Amino acid sequence: RKEVEQDPGPFNVPEGATVAFNCTYSNSASQSFFWYRQDCRKEPKLLMSVYSSGNEDGRFTAQLNRASQYISLLIRDSKLSDSATYLCVVNLHRDDKIIFGKGTRLHILP
């Protein structure tokens, strides 16, 4: 099983819809979780950290399920500007390695 797995997509979603995607991780010692956003040919940028209790930032909600070892990202009322690749990131504190998923491509359609 890969360390961090994401559905590569692409997800083609009409503007205004709600979209959700998951990311699974294999190492139960993982302790920090993040979602990054990457636009085409640009550097990744932090979208949000993922906290154990779940957290929300505007239209974005992140959840962590330690028992099942996955994190999720929900985008409500999607905008054209949400089109990007979303990267799931896991940090193993044990050795300070940071592991990125391969990303999920999202296309918001007008």
Partner 1 sequence: EAQVTQNPRYLITVTGKKLTVTCSQNMNHEYMSWYRQDPGLGLRQIYYSMNVEVTDKGDVPEGYKVSRKEKRNFPLILESPSPNQTSLYFCASSTTGGIAYEQYFGPGTRLTVT
Q: Quick one: which of 14, 26, 42, 77 contacts partner 1 (CB under 8 A)?
A: 42
The residue (of 83 and 85) whose beta carbon lies closer to partner 1 is: 85
Q: Quick one: which of 90, 101, 106, 108 contacts partner 1 (CB under 8 A)?
A: 101
Alpha helices in the chain (DSSP H): none
Q: Which residues contact 71 (CB under 8 A, 6 or more apart)?
A: 22, 23, 25, 33, 35, 50, 62, 63, 64, 65, 88
Tokens representing residue 60 in the block: 């974005």
75 binds partner 1, rule: CB under 8 A: no
- Contact positions vs partner 1 (CB under 8 A): 31-32, 34, 41-46, 49, 87, 91, 93, 95-103
